[in-house]
Structure 1
């Protein structure tokens, strides 16, 4: 399950990209910027969600 440890960081990379895309498109295409902002928030949520469950999984395996 080593891929679970690294897969959470993919969400951070995607979140940084969507935040950059939001900032670049804010003055030109506001609807696209809102979509990118929503995807940034979703990626940040998924990062913390995955990190929480990864720690929970590790704690469960360490107690055995």
Structure 2
């Protein structure tokens, strides 16, 4: 279960990196599309941080219950 949570948080990080790349390439040509990818990047980074925090709490709870 924890491995799945670890993979999903890195998927959000990959989405954020891809969104930053699209922002960089589209900024001068299609500003409206670039703003959409700014939103995706911000949400993806937020979800990465949220998922990482949730996974660490879950791991700590499992360690405490085993002791």
Normalised TM-score (structure 1): 0.97
| Corresponding residue number in structure 1 for 2:13 | 12
In structure 1, runs of 5+ residues without a counterpart are none
TM-score by length of 2: 0.92
d(CA) in 2 for partners of 1:41 and 1:54?
20
Equivalent pairs counted in the alignment come to 64
RMSD: 0.5
| TM superposition shift of 1:34 | 0.4
The runs of 5 or more residues in structure 2 that have no matched partner are none
